Amino acid sequence: MTTDFVIGIMAESVKLTLLIAAPALLVGLVIGFLVSLFQAVTQVQEMTLVFVPKIIGVFVTVIVAMPWMMNLLMAFTERLFKDIPHWVR
């Protein structure tokens, strides 16, 4: 097991983490932007108004995307476990 190999696995796991987190983060960003736009147009400056729609949106996104996220994680984990005999020599 070389240093390049370990760095490659770490890079792949970071990419997977970003890919899994992206949908929830994007939904939070879009909802935050829309609520901020609504606040600017209506001049309602309530600080807590942003949190409830964001929490609901991110929660729904995570529930909807959970099968896809689990498939990615399971495939990555299976690939890691399957390749263990090749690494240990």
Distances (CA, A) of 53 to 18, 35, 41: 23, 8, 17
Q: How far apart are CA 50 and CA 35, in angstroms?
A: 6
Confidence class of residue 40 from pLDDT cuts 50, 70 and 90? confident
- Average pLDDT estimate for 54-60: 95
Q: At residue 62, does pLDDT exceed 90?
A: yes
Q: How many domains does the chain have?
A: 1
Q: At residue 54, does pLDDT exceed 90?
A: yes
Confidence class of residue 45 from pLDDT cuts 50, 70 and 90? confident
Those residues whose C-beta lies under 8 Å from the C-beta of residue 53, and which sit 6 or more positions away, are 31, 35
Q: How far apart are CA 67 and CA 51, in angstroms?
A: 26
The domain of 26 spans 3-87
Q: What is the per-residue pLDDT for 22?
A: 96
